Structure 1
Amino acid sequence: MERVCKDSVGMTSVPGSSMDSAEPLNYHAAARQGRQAEYGERWGEGAARYFSIEADFLDEDQSIRLMPVPESFFCPISATIMSDPVATVDGCAYERDYIERWFRERRQAHQSITSPTTGLPLPSTTLMPLLALQRAIEAYLAHRPELRRDHMAGRSFEEAAQVLQTDLLEKQAMNTNMGDEVRRLREANKALVRQLRQSESDRAKLLQQLQQARWQLGIAEEPTFAELPDGALQPSSSDESTAFASAAEAEADLSRLQLQLARTEAQAQASASETRRDGSRKSASRRGPFFLALAAVLAAMAGSVHVAKGRAKAPPGLEPMELEANLSPEATQVQVAEMSLIASDFRPRKFGRGIPELIRCVEQLRSRSLEERHDAVMSLMATAREGKDMRKAILQAGAVLPLVELLRERSPALQEAAAAALGALCADGDQAQATLLRAGAVPALVRLLASDSSVPTRAAASAVRNLAANHNAAQLAIAQAGAITPLIRLLAHSDRGVQAQAASALGNLAGDSSENHFDKQVMISQAGAVEPLVQLLQSGAAEVREAGASALRMLVTNNADNQVAVAHGGAIRPLVKLLRDEAPSVREEAAAALGNLVFFNDETNSGNQAAIAEAGAVPHLAALLLDAKGQVAETAAGALRNLAAQNANNQEAICREALPSLVRLLRDPHSSQTQVEAAGAIHNLAAGNAKTQQLIVEAGALEPLVALLKGEAPRMREIAAGALWALARDNPELQSAIDRSGTIQAELSKHGS
């Protein structure tokens, strides 16, 4: 399974902490507010497109309907559009003045503080400014000045909307003169269609020349051609690719021809050398002109093919992108192994480094025999398992396009094998993923997600998972192709393997932990993924539980909206239960998900912090600090670090349960990252809490923290200095106890300045 880093759990700093200088904090806060403001403006501008046409554009009886003001812009208490929206801890939005008045009235009446919307008690009266919603309302009203104008004149927004409706209907008659322009555009469109057909005819002629050359070289059967309407001949094929894919296929064919020609020339040279040793050179001299002429033909064809390719353009969003993040070798091995569908009694061909034999296998993918095509796919999969170099050779041999064509076959077994092979080929990072994007693999794989058979569906979901891993262009293309809805449906599939692959694919579509992917995360959440993912946490299969927890982790990473949605969806208690799961990978993913539920963009989610602590997570996370499996202890320390941030109750609870184990991790020389997470947790435990500071000193944390200041890693020294500064900044006696020579004190002063 593809795994992404969990930097958002353990590597983020805590807002308002004493180790952070004012300048970085202000920078991050300003950047966050800028992103929220930009999102809100786009939201408001989109909502301001306030009418829809419910008929054909040229229909005289078309109905133009005004879109109402979005309900989310209204305060539930005042029923008016908000100007200063804020959110309570249960996620409901109100006008600040009205919700504060509500709180005051409840206190004066000596009543419990409840939500005006749900009637349920609120654990806190903390209000969170909704900058994005505020900017959305401002942008909405800015793009609908008639509403603001009529409202200021004494009319309600509903009355203003009725006035605008009347004005809109009056101006509808002015659009009748657009008919001539539309007819002119239609004629121009017909001319473009004729040019497109001519280009297709030219392309078919080039493909005909390539097919004939392949037949003459003996690496393909004698071509059969179908006559086009204009009299041109086109190779008979079930190919449904675009003009871009056809041009790419032609280039791949040319590369294979050149490789075959090189192999034939090498054989000719060897034969000529043997002939010279036998005293006969005439046969070798007769081969030379033939190969020179054939090379000239191929060179001429290459020029034609590249011209055709230059005229074709890739679909928007499918251009190859260079990314810094690549899959680790370990993750690649896991993915390729999972994609293996080779039967135990199947004996694939071994190609070794024989590229010509590999090309012949790729050619066999287009065989008329179903059995031969299936055997060719299986042989390619066996070769792909031999390592990254062989997978690269398969890509260079042009296997992607014929494999994409096989996804459209009627045989479920062949569809399964082709999808599995494509998933294995794209497991090596962005270049392989870009090759699949250009070949049109995404639409074909998305169609397979709705297959009635679970086998090709599982293989397609696994291929989509690998294709989306750490590749923004692939994630966008998959989402635009409509993969999110069928993937969510597959979460309820009867096959647990299908469930696991679908959940992993949704997790990879949500992005990675290295940057913000707010729009994609919200898209998946609003499509209804949260509830079925929460149900997967109670599955009887460990791989399903792990995939569900991992997907939820990615949905809530740096996303406050999804954090609230996942918490309301009932995910906290199942995740806490998974902290005791028998599978180490499940325990690790559950701890990471809980850590990400309480942290977003240098801010904490106090409501989720309290809910997770009340669910009993702290003792279980403390127990995981002693877990030696994988990165469980490191991830648990990161989760405790986030739970302790700016939360006095959690700080004291964590000190009671986990402080000795955290101090022990500080002394662990085998994992520097675990030491960093433990030091970060102690920093958050000490920040602004004199009681926990004393407990930390008594637990013996000073000595290992001072030792970490001498470490080689800058990040380790920074976190250790921050923890010591949080302990000593308001305690002169402790400052003296840490360092009586002044050297470490100077270091602490530098970090605290």
Structure 2
Amino acid sequence: MVEELLSTLACENSALLQTDNEAIPSFDAFECPLTKQVMKDPVVLESEHTYERNAIEEWFRTCREQDREPTCPSSGRVLSTTELHSNLVLRKTIEEWYQRNVAFRVQSVVDRLTAVELMQDVDGALDEILRLFNENPMNKWKIKSANLIPKIAKIWSLEGAAYFRSKALEVLDRMAVDDADNQHIIVKEGFLRFSVRSLGSKEDEEKANAARLLYHLSTSSLEVCEVLGTGKGAVIHLAGLLASKDHDLSQLAEKTLRNLEQVESNVLEMAEAGRIQPLLARLCEGPQETRIRMASYLAKRHLVKSQVKLVAQSATRSLIAMLPGTLEAKEASLGVFLMLSSLADNKSLLIEAGILPPLLDIMFSIHSSVNNRALKLKEWAAEVVSKLVSSRGSWENASIDAEGTTLYSEFVVHNLLGLMAHARPDWKHTLLQILTGMASSPDAGEEACEHIRSGHGVRICAVFLSETSVDSHRLHALRLLAVIAPRLGPDIVREFHGTEMAARLQALLRSTNTEERAAAAFVLGAIPMTEKEVSQHLEPELLEWTLTTLASLKDSKRGRSHTRLLSETIEGLLGILLHFLRFNALSPPATLRQHDVMTLLVNELDRQGEFVIKHRAAMGIKCLSNMAASLCRKPELPPTTCFCFRSRPGKLSCSIHPGVCDPADSVCMVEARAIVPVLELLEEEDQGVQLAAMEALSTLLADSSNLRGAVEELCRVEGLQKILELFYGLQKGELQDRTAWVVERIVRVDDLAKSLSVDTKLFKALVEAFKFGSATTKALAQDALTNLKQLSGVSAGVRRKK
């Protein structure tokens, strides 16, 4: 049997040697009787029959499992041994046959790809290559030697190439695996462009094959990675695949990008595509030169909010560590901080990481004699600080040195004011912004304002108001004055003396710049002024101009929203108006009647959420109401024809004032129908507005001789209960004092006091006020309780009558 096999093999070997240009079909001796497939590891049994090793081993295993003696599958002979002997001669012959056929098949592929007569030929050639890869990994080297990659490149752009594009990518991918030479050839032949384009294909298989090819290319040298990363759209497409629902595809993209991260230019490309983590890793862990380059790049990019937040969370401390470094390091770091500090969510993080000390060191330590580049760093540092203090945050509690000095300390504020003297014009407004931010803080504002005052900050602001000043400086100086005016009003008024500051502020009320107009009005309206100061510093025609301007803005409240500038303007104008209304001598009745000031102020009471406007309007109504008694006229009696029969007066007296209040031009709250709008202010959340409303209502009860008429008017408009409801829940304070005064005046009316004496809530509120109120409120509560017959003693009303 063995001799016959050897003889057959000799003949087949001879046939192999004689055939050069055609495929040789498989010989029967090459096929395993069990599998009917060409054998790879032929073995001989005791029966001298040959089988594939794996197949015969499985046969013997089946015999054992079935409790049968091992037999030869072909002859049925029972074997005494299952020992297997490798048939080396047959194995070698089969290998030679296979290699000969592989060579022929490869050449056939080359021929078909070269001719490219039919698309079916191309498709069949690619299928054949894939079969060769699948049959034996060693076939890869024969395929490589055939130089197929350039031939695949030539057919890529043929009409109908889309049909086999996915298959071609799969072939290239198989050729690229663990083969640096093939990888370089693939790159050289331009397949990067084709592969990247296929990443955007609608065909999932094509997309996956392209991703696999790019991944295997990325495992090559750094040079290949660099070329791959700079390929148009490569990084963008790969970054897009990270969000793919196909997990395998997403992982391929992730692994490819990680390989590309080895090249710095690729890291920058990834940052362009929105993948900034690799850049941040280099920024945090790289050498100083690399960190500077990464920071410089970041500073020039426009990042979305989530990326800005990620940079702050990941790299803040590394960036802060760069601030004491070289000019290049400072520039790069400050450039990034300009971006990071623009996001409110980052401010606390930056401050807690310790950014303030190095920023102030840059601002205060570099002198004006240093070159422009260094001075630019001061400006950038100041701009970062201005952004950090632009809103309330942890900066108020942060220390700038080991001694616990705060950012709004005298040292810092005075240094900032000192820089104004020699700072370049293009960053003085930044220093003003910093001071404005500090002074605006609810926690730090009072102390900051005090340091601004002691550092002559008001005088410095006055200088910026001149006509020759830079517009941005003037505007920011006005904003600072607007913030400090409520606290430093007297200092601002003192600065009026001997300067043109008051005149400049009034001139700016007519500026073409709406922000300047609003800020100037806000400043003038916020500062306290005596009658003498109003006469001395405010132009006489300012009253009429203010009323005219307010009237022109009366319809602005009907919009859906109010702008900040409009609110500031109206607040300021009402404040200016109050300067005149507080003093009768400065408020000509003719002017008040001409502009119907009471109606104008009543109209301002219904601005939603504008507490300052409501407060000032209510205070203006109070001032007008105080004038009403002196401006009303006595009733005129019509002429009589008979001494015995006299006609009734043509016009009845006002229920509040001792005379006639003309509805057409009245400053009387009754005739102007102002009582109800003012009463509605008692329901506001802001106590300042409530207090202003009570001040205005108090004017109705000022005349002790006509309390009944005033109380009846309040009852007529259902205001009495609103006043009492407010009083029930008040604690010690100015509002309780004023409301207690009103309640005490109300209960002086005997019949009303009798009906209120059974009001347990009023009794309880008066007792609480008597126990825990201020000295003024205690006395008023005692008098009220006495009038209600709830406390023994003589009522205040009786004492006053006596």
What is the TM-score when the length of structure 2 is the normalising length? 0.42
Provide TM-score, normalisation by structure 1: 0.45
Q: Which has the larger radius of gyration?
A: 2
